[in-house]
Structure 1
Amino acid sequence: MDLKEVMAVNLRRIRYDRNMTQEDLADLANLSARYIGAIERADVSASVTVLGQIADALEVEPGELVKLSDKAC
């Protein structure tokens, strides 16, 4: 699994855990919902700046978004 896919899985999981829609997250992160969807589908690679915006919006450390879970190994 590449880092883009890891971030996609983690982003979707954390967003679901917080009962947020893609639109909610996009508003908080000052991004478009379309872009959030593309990141969650691993269609695009998020820049470090965008990673930070999303982490801030989700109130997690940026590393949580790119951390490979033990289950995925």
Structure 2
Amino acid sequence: MANGAYVFANYGTLTGEPAPTVGLLPNMSVDYYYNAGSSIALVVVPEPSTLALLAGLFALLAGYRTRR
């Protein structure tokens, strides 16, 4: 998995409706329009706590930078 995504199909045009996804891990999803709409990929979705931690880190860095 490069960059948190595993591309398992490439296409020129995609028609129809996406198939329902069953049996994926809670932190994964299928992206039918990955890479500007030319690939289908299994994508790792970060946990909300990870996103909150990153947001807090960026806020601290921004505050530190403005104080200098």
Q: Shorter-chain TM-score: what band?
A: under 0.3
Choose between structure 1 and 2 for higher RCO, CA contacts under 8 A separated by at least 6 residues: 1
Specify the structure having the higher radius of gyration (Cα): 2
If each structure's helix is expressed as a fraction of its own residues, which one has the higher value?
Answer: 1
TM-score, reference length from structure 2: 0.28
If each structure's strand is expressed as a fraction of its own residues, which one has the higher value?
Answer: 2
